[in-house]
Copies of this chain bind each other. A is one copy, B any other.
Amino acid sequence: MADAADIREERTSVDDIFDTLRAEIMALELRPGDKLSESDMAARFGVSRQPVRDAFNRLANQDLLVIRPKRATEVKRFSMREIEKSRFVRAAVEEKVLRLAAENCDLVGAARLDMSIAEQEQLLETASFDSFGALDLIFHKTLSQIAKTEFAFDVILTEKTKIDRLCVLGLSKEQRLPDLVEDHRRIADAVKQHDGEAAVQAGMVHLGRLDETIARIEAQNANYFEIR
């Protein structure tokens, strides 16, 4: 569900526009509430309104734009309900994954977890924080694989994406990373020891960090949120 390539089999100019705008929206270069015009975008990308229109439609379907006929199209504001939903789904899915992972973790799985944790700790030392996102995904994907529920990673990825746009407004990665890596280490240890309960506990602590972050962001950026 993430990018255009999942749905179509060949790239068109609509795909380019879609991917570009999506990245800008996710990075908050286009901010919640910003108005977008089909004509402006057409001029910017050097195409007619039509492909822009198609791209807008796709973005609206992914809950990133709101199209208000004959009025305007704007970048969707954050919705606390949507965020709570993502938070809830992630918690539910990760809990199941961690229990299954703890149950099914074999030597190969343990080795892969060790490797993943080692990479993350190395990254902390070399201070190349930007590539943490990729390592984070690999870690959770590895857990899904050990749990023999690979499709669970799709869900985690989808829900994570929804919250990521919000987290751009939070603290810098430099500040958050040490805690996150420590969380991961605890989760990995529990899974390796087949202690599902401890793994779930560590996982909930991990997710809990999001809550503080989200609460602070909401307090400081009310204008980016839907009125409720």
Is A155 a contact of B89 with CB atoms below 8 Å?
yes
Is B88 a contact of A152 with CB atoms below 8 Å?
yes
Closest-CB distance, A72 to chain B (whole angstroms): 11
In whole angstroms, how far apart are the Cα atoms of A81 and B82 in the complex? 25
Judge whether A68 is part of the interface by a CB distance below 8 angstroms.
yes
Q: Which of A1-37 contact B (CB under 8 A)?
A: 7-10, 12
Copies of the chain in the assembly: 2
Is B9 a contact of A68 with CB atoms below 8 Å?
yes
Closest residue to A58 on the B side, CB-wise? B61
Q: Which of A51-95 contact B (CB under 8 A)?
A: 53-54, 57-58, 60-63, 66-70, 81-82, 84-85, 88-89, 91-93, 95
Judge whether A149 is part of the interface by a CB distance below 8 angstroms.
yes
In whole angstroms, how far apart are the Cα atoms of A58 and B62 in the complex? 10
With a cutoff of 8 Å between Cβ atoms, the chain B residues found around residue A96 in the complex are: 88, 91-92, 95
Q: A151 contacts which of B10, B81, B149 (Cβ < 8 Å)?
A: B81
With a cutoff of 8 Å between Cβ atoms, the chain B residues found around residue A154 in the complex are: 85
Known A54-B57, A85-B152, A88-B149; further 18 A-B contacts with Cβ < 8 A: A8-B67, A9-B68, A10-B68, A10-B69, A10-B70, A57-B57, A81-B151, A82-B151, A84-B151, A85-B155, A88-B152, A89-B89, A89-B92, A89-B155, A91-B96, A92-B93, A92-B96, A93-B93
